[in-house]
């Protein structure tokens, strides 16, 4: 184990994950973040238009996300993910008016597909063999080449599920990335598919407890200091150049670069990174949901895709949302609210709202872009990479970000596990 300092550039979830793993092992760690707050794309902020704290977007995780579980346990925030005690996900088809709840049984043997009350309406048990075919897929092919993109199972489950995890039209998404998620969730049974959301906010679950943990372990987290340059000499990283100072790296120091791909490629010569990205659009409405409202509802046939009911607000997320980026904000709010009102049986005027557009929310999860994802090691032995855009084997998700940070930390410790 190196006795030097590990410098982590970036305090998004991958950087925080690496810092938590290393600080917990007693290493000297310094975190450098260019923004005024930690969390990266997984952030919360006070919105003056709504006069309340909201998340930049609503993020759904599943109980089978082991890196999420381990990270929250490490920072003492396990109770800040909430959701049902069983795998139960409500859906509403706005075109037909149909409502149903998907209820996979806990064990890996999927007997639930034999019960029409547990599966998607108008589907047959044999239809679900599609998940077995998909689970066997390898990177390099699209989902559309592995599965037929039609039928009720596709429209009412496969498409919305894969759009959420890939943030890319499923037909063009990399089948290997989709397969990895299916193998870790649906193929393991309902015990791995219980939906979870951060409560009361993303920051309260993923960011603030991590910062408190790092402070308690003597780790310095510096905000508002972007690393502008990494100096190299004799095949090693030798210095970090910040606006106000230059940090000369010692012979035993290590750098974990946990920044977006478009930043990483400016700091590391000849680094190959994904170059295409997909947007996510989120809507937030300041209104208490009905007492009977399901915490999460998947929406079929609307602009909204997932509706999240919090104690003091209702939030909406739309993945693969490049088509909405230039839409008028108020018109988009009204469009999303129409879906929310239909889902929850609400009436009355448009409540106070906020629209958040993340133009480069994730890399485009196509085979071509997936092939551009670098591993954690670089050409420089003391410089490692972390981020959901690196080659985690998963799409760009919270789970992937946390795994990438942990993997980089293991390499910094001298380990070899992924």
Q: Is residue 417 part of a domain?
A: no
Candidates 138, 135, 136, 132; CA nearest to 176 is 138
At 376, list the tokens.
């954690």
Print burial letters for 160-179: b (CB count within 10 Å at least 16), e (below 16): bbbbbbbbbbbebbbbbbbb
DSSP 8-state secondary structure symbol assigned to residue 350: P
Q: Say yes or no: 370 and 271 in one domain.
A: yes
SS3 67: helix
319, part of any domain: yes
Q: Residue 302 and residue 338: Cα distance in Å, rounded?
A: 9
Strands 81-82, 52-55: pairing kind:
unpaired
Q: The tokens of 23 are what?
A: 């600080």
pLDDT at 417: 38
Per the domain annotation, does 303 fall within a domain? yes
Name the nearest CA neighbour of 321 among 335, 305, 298, 340. Answer: 305
Q: Which is it for strands 383-385 and 306-309: parallel, antiparallel or unpaired?
A: unpaired
What's the rounded Cα separation, in Å, for the pair 389 and 90?
30
For residues 320 and 213, membership in a common domain is answered with no
The Cα 4–Cα 16 span in angstroms is 19
280 and 315 in a single domain? The answer is: yes
Residue 77 shares a structural domain with residue 217: no
* Predicted pLDDT of residue 416: 39
The pTM of the full predicted model, rounded to 2 decimals, is 0.96
Are residues 212 and 267 located together in one domain of the fold?
Answer: yes
Half-sphere exposure of 59 (CA within 13 A, CB side): 25
- 270 and 394 housed in the same domain: yes
- Structural domain of 378: 5-43+202-275+366-412
Quote the CA–CA distance of 77 and 56 in Å, as a whole number. 20
Each residue's pLDDT expressed in tens, for the chain with a length of 418 residues:
457 999 999 999 999 999 999 999 999 999 999 999 999 988 999 999 999 999 998 888 999 999 999 999 999 999 999 999 999 999 999 999 999 999 999 999 999 999 999 999 999 999 999 999 999 999 999 999 999 999 999 999 999 999 999 999 999 999 999 999 999 999 999 999 999 999 999 999 999 999 999 999 999 999 999 999 999 999 999 999 999 999 999 999 999 999 999 999 999 999 999 999 999 999 999 999 999 999 999 999 999 999 999 999 999 999 999 999 999 999 999 999 999 999 999 999 999 999 999 999 999 999 999 999 999 999 999 999 999 999 999 999 999 999 999 999 999 999 533 3
In a domain, 181, yes or no: yes
Domain assignment present for 406: yes
CA angle 225, 231, 237 (to 5 degrees): 100
Q: Is residue 35 part of a domain?
A: yes
Domain harbouring 68, CATH code: 3.90.660.10
User: Which CATH number do you get for residue 19?
Assistant: 3.50.50.60
Residues 125, 185, single domain; the answer is yes
Same domain, 215 and 268: yes
- Where among 363, 379, 396 does a domain terminate? 363
Task: Give the pLDDT confidence score for residue 57 in this predicted structure.
Answer: 85
Considering its fold, how many domains does the chain have in total? 3
Range 328-332 contact pairs with CB under 8 angstroms and sequence separation of 24 or more: 329/355, 332/281, 332/283, 332/303
Q: 281 and 309, same structural domain?
A: yes
Task: Please check whether residue 418 lies inside any domain of the structure.
Answer: no
Residues 243 and 371 in one domain: yes
Q: What is the DSSP letter of 240?
A: E
Domain end, chosen from 193, 213, 230, is at 193
Q: Which two tokens stand for residue 293?
A: 């409202």
CB 314 within 8 A of CB 344: yes
Q: Do residues 293 and 359 share a domain?
A: yes
Tell me which of 155, 173, 193 is where a domain ends: 193
| CA gap 378, 401 in Å, rounded | 18
Residue 386 and residue 251 in one domain: yes
Q: Does residue 114 sit within a domain?
A: yes
Residues facing 121 on adjacent strands = none
């Amino acid at each position: 184990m190196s006795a030097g300092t590990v410098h982590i550039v970036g305090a998004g979830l991958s950087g925080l994950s690496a810092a938590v793993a290393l600080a917990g092992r007693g290493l000297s760690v310094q975190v450098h973040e260019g923004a005024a707050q930690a969390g990266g794309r997984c952030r919360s902020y006070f919105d003056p238009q709504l006069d309340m704290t909201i998340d930049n977007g609503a993020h759904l995780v599943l109980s089978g996300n082991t890196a999420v579980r381990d990270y929250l346990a490490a920072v003492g925030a396990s109770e800040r993910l909430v959701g049902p005690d069983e795998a139960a996900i409500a859906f509403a088809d706005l075109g037909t008016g149909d409502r149903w709840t998907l209820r996979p049984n806990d064990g890996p043997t999927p007997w639930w597909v034999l019960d029409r009350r547990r599966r998607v309406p108008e589907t047959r048990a044999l239809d679900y063999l599609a998940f077995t075919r998909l689970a066997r897929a390898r990177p390099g092919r699209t989902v559309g080449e592995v599965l037929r993109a039609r039928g009720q199972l596709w429209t009412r489950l496969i498409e919305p599920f894969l759009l959420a995890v890939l943030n890319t039209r499923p037909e063009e998404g990399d089948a290997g990335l989709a397969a990895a998620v299916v193998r870790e969730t649906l193929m393991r049974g309902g015990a791995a598919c219980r939906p979870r959301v951060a409560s009361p906010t993303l920051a309260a679950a993923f960011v603030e407890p991590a910062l408190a943990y790092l402070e308690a372990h003597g780790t310095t987290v510096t905000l508002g200091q972007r690393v502008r340059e990494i100096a190299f000499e004799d095949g090693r990283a030798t210095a970090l150049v910040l606006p106000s100072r230059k940090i000369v790296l010692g012979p035993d120091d290590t750098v974990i670069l946990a920044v977006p791909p478009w930043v990483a490629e400016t700091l590391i010569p000849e680094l190959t990174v994904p170059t295409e990205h997909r947007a996510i659009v989120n809507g937030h409405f300041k209104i208490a949901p009905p007492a009977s409202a399901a915490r999460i509802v998947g929406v079929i046939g609307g602009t909204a895709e997932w509706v999240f009911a919090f104690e003091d607000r209702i939030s909406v997320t739309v993945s693969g949302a490049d088509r909405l980026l230039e839409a008028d904000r108020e018109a988009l709010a009204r469009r999303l609210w129409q879906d929310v009102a239909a889902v929850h049986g609400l009436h009355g005027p448009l409540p106070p709202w906020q629209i958040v557009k993340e133009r480069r929310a994730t890399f485009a999860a196509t085979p071509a872009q997936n092939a551009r994802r670098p591993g954690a090691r670089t050409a420089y032995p003391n410089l490692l990479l972390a981020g959901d855009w690196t080659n985690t084997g998963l799409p760009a998700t919270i789970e992937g970000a946390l795994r990438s940070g942990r993997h980089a930390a293991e390499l910094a410790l001298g380990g070899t596990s992924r």
